[in-house]
Amino acid sequence: MFFLDKKKLYILTYDHGGFVLWGDRVKPRLRDLAVWMEKYPDLRIGLDYESFTFDEFMRQDPETVRMIAELLEKYPDRFGLGATTYGQPLSLFISEESNVRQLTYAVRTNLKYFGKTPSVYAISEFALNNQTPQLISQCGYEAAILRSHVMGYGYTKTFDSPWGRWIGKDLTEIPAVPTYHNQGRGFNCTTVDNWILSRWPVDSDLYSLENFEKMFSDYEPLLASRYDDLTQPIEEITAHTQKVDNYEYILLEDIPEIFGEATDELKTADNDFHAQMPWGYCGNEIFNGCRQGEVDALQGEKLNAFSVMLGGDSLESTSEEAWKYILAAQHHDVTICGLLDLSRRFIPESLRLSDKVKTESFSALSAKFASSNGESLLVVNPHSFDIDEWLEVPVDYSCCAYDADSELECENTVCNGKSILRVHVCLSPLTVKRYEIRKTAHESESDFCYHSENGVLTTPLYKVKFTEKGIAYIDCIADSQRIYDNEDGALFTAFIEDKECASSGKWRFDITAHSAKAVQEGMIGSIPYRFEMSFAGKRARIDCKARFEMHGEHVGRTDITQGRPVPLTRNGHHHEDKLCFVMNLCLDKNRRMVRDLPFAVSDWNGALLKPEEYWYPDDRILIDTEVSQEESFNSTTYMQGIYWIGLRDTEKGIAVFNKGCMGSAISGNTVRIPLLYSNLYMCGTRILDGVFEDEFALMPFNSSVSDIDIHKASMAYNYPPVAGVAAKGNGSLCEFSAASLNTKGSDVILTALYPENSAVLARFCNFSDNPASIEFTPSVGRVTAQTDLLGNETEKVTGNELSFRPWEIKTVMIEEV
List, as one string, the DSSP characters of 85-112: SSS-B-GGGS-HHHHHHHHHHHHHHHHH
Considering only 634-638, 660-664, 759-763, which range has the smallest mean pLDDT? 634-638
**Residue 712 backbone phi and psi in degrees, to 5:** -65, -40
Cα–Cα distance for residue pair 543/535, rounded to 1 Å: 7
| 310-319, 560-569, 629-638, range with greatest mean pLDDT | 310-319
Residues across the chain: 817
Closest C-alpha among 618, 663, 620 to residue 638: 663
H or E, element range at 464:
strand 462-466
- Looking at residue 417, its pLDDT comes to 75
Cα–Cα distance for residue pair 451/297, rounded to 1 Å: 43
Cα–Cα distance for residue pair 600/768, rounded to 1 Å: 8
Judged by DSSP in three states, 329 sits in helix
The 3-class secondary structure across 246-269, one letter per residue, is CEEECCHHHHHHHHCCCCEEEECC
Q: Is the distance from CB of 151 to CB of 126 less than 8 angstroms?
A: yes
- Reply yes or no on whether the pLDDT at 731 is more than 50: yes
The strand ranges marked E within 21-172 are 45-49, 79-81, 120-123, 143-148, 154-155, 158-159, 164-167
Orientation of helix 285-309 relative to helix 316-329, angle to 10°:
160
Cα–Cα distance for residue pair 536/547, rounded to 1 Å: 21
Q: How many CB atoms lie within 10 A of CB 271?
A: 18
Instruction: State what percent of residues in the chain have pLDDT above 70.
Output: 94
Q: What share of the chain is helix, strand, coil (3-state, %, to 5)?
A: 25, 35, 40
Q: What's the mean per-residue pLDDT of the chain?
A: 93
Peptide bond into 565 cis (omega under 30): no
- Looking at residue 612, its pLDDT comes to 42
Judged by DSSP in three states, 448 sits in coil
Q: How many CB atoms lie within 10 A of CB 204?
A: 14
Q: Is the distance from CB of 221 to CB of 162 less than 8 angstroms?
A: yes
Closest C-alpha among 355, 359, 357, 348 to residue 316: 357
Cα–Cα distance for residue pair 743/746, rounded to 1 Å: 5
- 590 pLDDT tier (thresholds 50, 70, 90): confident
Q: How many CB atoms lie within 10 A of CB 517?
A: 19
- Looking at residue 604, its pLDDT comes to 65
Cα–Cα distance for residue pair 573/636, rounded to 1 Å: 13
Closest C-alpha among 569, 524, 572, 571 to residue 550: 524
Q: CA separation (Å) from 283 to 59, 280, 548?
A: 31, 5, 9
Instruction: State what percent of residues in the chain have pLDDT above 90.
Output: 85
Residues 329-344 pLDDT 10s:
999 999 999 999 999 9
- Supply the DSSP string of 475-542, one letter for each residue: EETTTTEEEEE-TT--SEEEEETTEEEEEEEEEEEEE-SSEEEEEEEEEETTEEEEEEEEEETT-S-E
Residues 481-525 pLDDT 10s:
999 999 988 999 999 999 999 999 999 999 999 999 999 999 999
Q: CA separation (Å) from 745 to 709, 770, 783?
A: 12, 12, 22
| DSSP letter, residue 119 | S
Q: Is the distance from CB of 413 to CB of 510 less than 8 angstroms?
A: no
- Looking at residue 327, its pLDDT comes to 98
Cα–Cα distance for residue pair 384/752, rounded to 1 Å: 10
Cα–Cα distance for residue pair 723/177, rounded to 1 Å: 49
H or E, element range at 813:
strand 809-815
Give the angle subtended at the CA of 459 by the CAs of 453 and 460, to the nearest 5°: 140
- Looking at residue 557, its pLDDT comes to 86
Q: CA separation (Å) from 125 to 112, 323, 433, 450?
A: 25, 21, 45, 51
- 188 pLDDT tier (thresholds 50, 70, 90): confident
- Looking at residue 636, its pLDDT comes to 85
- 204 pLDDT tier (thresholds 50, 70, 90): low
- 607 pLDDT tier (thresholds 50, 70, 90): very low
Name residues whose C-beta falls within 8 Å of residue 612's C-beta, 6 or more positions apart in sequence: 621, 622, 623, 624
Can you give the pTM of this predicted structure?
0.96
Name residues whose C-beta falls within 8 Å of residue 764's C-beta, 6 or more positions apart in sequence: 384, 748, 749, 750, 751, 774, 776, 802, 804, 809, 810, 811, 812
Q: How many CB atoms lie within 10 A of CB 349?
A: 18
- Looking at residue 622, its pLDDT comes to 38
Cα–Cα distance for residue pair 345/127, rounded to 1 Å: 23
Closest C-alpha among 44, 28, 6 to residue 226: 44
- Looking at residue 566, its pLDDT comes to 61
Cα–Cα distance for residue pair 180/177, rounded to 1 Å: 9
